[in-house]
Structure 1
Amino acid sequence: MICCLNPNCNQPNNPDTAETCGACGTRLTKRLRGRYCPIRLIGKGGFGRTYLAVDTDRLNTTCVIKQFAPQTQGTKSFSKAVKLFEQEALRLNELGEHPQIPSLLAYFEHSQYLYLVQQAIEGHTLYQELQKRGAYSEADISRLLLDILPVLQFIHDHGVIHRDITPTNVIRRKVDDKPVLIDFGVAKQFRDTILYEPGTRIGTEGYAPIEQLRSGQAYPSSDLYSLGATCLHLLTGTKPELLYSPLEGRWLWQAALEQADRSINPLLGELLERLVKDMVSERYQSAKAALADLNRLESTRGTVPGWVSQNSRDSLFEQLDPDSQPLSSARSPQAQVPPTVPPQVSGPASGSPPRRSPASNSSPRGSGPPTTTPQSGARSSGGRSSAGPQSPSSGA
């Protein structure tokens, strides 16, 4: 089987002997760069398509090819697109040093399209896992957070914000059961610059915080929000857009658990609530701070029964350790953005927005960076269904 690389082709699959696509008539490219053979379409979107491929130079080892179709006009614009693409590819190559991020194998331009080749991850997405086995237990959620928060700390320290963490963008790797974070934001970076119309929303509704959906702004705490929404989906089995009440301005995930006659440790409940705060300044400002609280939770597991109140004034973490203060930021020397300057819309950054006095938990849903007065208002209750990609899978 050979796949047509025309991003507008509706039936890209063709027999190996075909020279042109039977559906659109495009001349088929059987080997990109003389070695990568696209064999199956596994994903598509406004930026281009994702293909499963084999690398003929590596004994037909499977890999993933991500194709980007820049919407540019003129040679100068395309040259700028290629330059941005190369910069992002180099950054992804650095991220690929982490064992829970797919390795970047190659990047190149071919016939006015841009391509990334990445390691294929054999396994299944968390969404597929949820569909197969049902809602996660409290222990499952804690384990997932313990495994994923260090990955987020790593990418934020490298100046990258993922901006689309969902159950479909985390793969449970078959060989060791570790979660692998996929689908990094080269295309999202492009949307912020010259390749897409201004105002394009970034992220998946239901999982993305309001600052992303309204203005395209994103911070490390934006990724933490998306991780929290992902955990609520996995914990309850209900999509996050159905767990939030725009009229009441609060999350209803605890009621969903009560209906199922379930409960969780109140410390974990408070941690999840803080991850999905509407106000940027009220969330964890770094994965390191969230991980520190999670480790304290794990050390006291089973000692604090009952429910956590959404309107509780006293932090259970502070009761446990009065001297503990959440960290406002966590970054390595590689981070390039000062902590007092929030990342710009034009690309991912590791800087954390400055904190300020938190508002009441019962305040209306707000948005915007913490350096301005957040706007109140309810989040849209609509959302997009997540569909698990076929395995093996990966993403740029």
Structure 2
Amino acid sequence: MLMMFKNLFSKRSQTEEAYLSKPIETSLFKSGDIIRDRYCVKKQILACKSTGWDETYLAIDRDSTDLKQVVIKYLKLNIGRGRSTTAGILFDREMDKLAHLSSQVDCIPRFHDRFQDRDEFYLVQEYVAGRNMAEILANVRLSELETVSFIKTILSALQSIHDRDIIYKYMRLNNIVLRSVDGKLGFLYCGDITNIIEMKPPEPSDGFINHGFFERYKAPEVLALKPQLSSDIFAVGAIGIQCLVGCSLNELAECPSTGEIKWRDHCQVSDRFADILNKMYEQSQRYRYNNVTEVLDALDKLYS
């Protein structure tokens, strides 16, 4: 399906980096550092805390026969020993779920390892070579046909996760990658550590990360810490709208009375497809699509 985007992608992005690089000044590890006598750090590749992790690194697994590249995610809680034990139990539970999920579906990185050192937590995952969709589609406006095809591909991959009753929660362009190995879309999913980071003491803003930047991509129930499967549909609807208007939803005005963003006047879109996107991006769960199958059925009938 993504063949229709092949020329667009090759022209818009020459990078082969799936993970957006935003190094911070005070990273814990530097190039050449060895973690747990096994992983040799190459570089920091992400400093975005939108998924809860503090820092992310590209490293080499020295114990692998082919010196495999891996991604290491790091979280420090700064809590007492007793609470660290509780956090460790929650961490192990979520990592077990992540390991099982990554063995069942091929749209997320493979689980590689996890470990804990007091109140410091580490997740090691497969390194995914490819291009990040946030960079490929930065300031790019897709046609309606391209957008329909793109979100159908996202939804088809998402369905394999939903079929296992797991909510992704972090669905947005910077967590989607066009993989080099097979040309398919993949998600940079790293498990749900919400219950763990809630134990973390609040920190003052560092002026670098805007924690509210993605709020228009999160359903109201996600912001209320009560996510549902349809919450991911809300986020995919937001991605579809962004692809049509060619800019972040944060740049669009909203209706003062309803809080809904005004996007229809910023793009060319058929009424039928706009209605589908509006139902995906519906603030109320009651009026939103219930599951991915319903959305795919509506998209399949769009031009019939």
TM-score by length of 1: 0.62
| Structure with the larger helix share | 2
Counterpart in the other structure of 2:161: 155
Query: What SS does the corresponding residue of 1:297 show, helix, strand or coil?
Result: coil
| Pair 1:210 & 2:226 matched | no
Query: What SS does the corresponding residue of 2:137 show, helix, strand or coil?
Result: helix
Counterpart in the other structure of 1:119: 126
Residue 123 of structure 1: how far off its partner (Å):
1.2
Asked if the contact 1:68–1:187 (Cα under 8 Å) also holds between the matched residues in 2, the reply is no
Residue 110 of structure 1: how far off its partner (Å):
3.1
| Pair 1:255 & 2:265 matched | yes
Structural mapping, 1:96-135, within 5 Å: 96=102, 97-110=104-117, 112-131=119-138, 134-135=140-141
Counterpart in the other structure of 2:41: 38
| Pair 1:10 & 2:26 matched | yes
Residue 189 of structure 1: how far off its partner (Å):
3.5
Asked if the contact 1:164–1:204 (Cα under 8 Å) also holds between the matched residues in 2, the reply is no
Counterpart in the other structure of 1:63: 70
| Pair 1:293 & 2:298 matched | yes
Structure 2 alignment gaps of length 5 or more: 1-22, 203-210
Structural mapping, 1:272-311, within 5 Å: 272-297=277-302, 300=304
Selected match of 2:197 from 172, 180, 191: 191
Counterpart in the other structure of 1:48: 54
Structure 1 222/41 Cα, relative in aligned 2: closer, same or farther at 3 Å? same
Structure 1 206/237 Cα, relative in aligned 2: closer, same or farther at 3 Å? same
CA distance in 1, matches of 2:84, 2:28: 25
Identity rate, percent: 24
Structure 1 145/51 Cα, relative in aligned 2: closer, same or farther at 3 Å? same
CA distance in 2, matches of 1:112, 1:37: 21
Aligned amino acid, residue 112 of structure 2: L
Q: Deviations over 1:75-129 (max 9, x none)?
A: 2211111111111111111221211111101111135411111111111221101
Counterpart in the other structure of 1:182: 188
Query: What SS does the corresponding residue of 1:285 show, helix, strand or coil?
Result: coil
Aligned amino acid, residue 289 of structure 1: E
Asked if the contact 1:38–1:51 (Cα under 8 Å) also holds between the matched residues in 2, the reply is yes
Structure 1 111/77 Cα, relative in aligned 2: closer, same or farther at 3 Å? closer
Selected match of 1:246 from 218, 240, 255: 255
Structure 1 33/94 Cα, relative in aligned 2: closer, same or farther at 3 Å? same
Aligned amino acid, residue 85 of structure 1: F
CA distance in 1, matches of 2:110, 2:278: 33
Query: What SS does the corresponding residue of 1:131 show, helix, strand or coil?
Result: coil
Counterpart in the other structure of 2:245: 236
Structural mapping, 1:266-277, within 5 Å: 266-277=271-282
Counterpart in the other structure of 2:229: 220
TM-score by length of 2: 0.79
Structure 1 139/176 Cα, relative in aligned 2: closer, same or farther at 3 Å? farther
Aligned amino acid, residue 276 of structure 2: L
| Pair 1:172 & 2:178 matched | yes
Asked if the contact 1:49–1:68 (Cα under 8 Å) also holds between the matched residues in 2, the reply is yes
Structure 1 244/284 Cα, relative in aligned 2: closer, same or farther at 3 Å? farther
Aligned amino acid, residue 56 of structure 1: R
Structure 1 alignment gaps of length 5 or more: 1-6, 17-29, 258-262, 301-396
Structure 1 216/202 Cα, relative in aligned 2: closer, same or farther at 3 Å? farther
Residue 297 of structure 1: how far off its partner (Å):
2.3
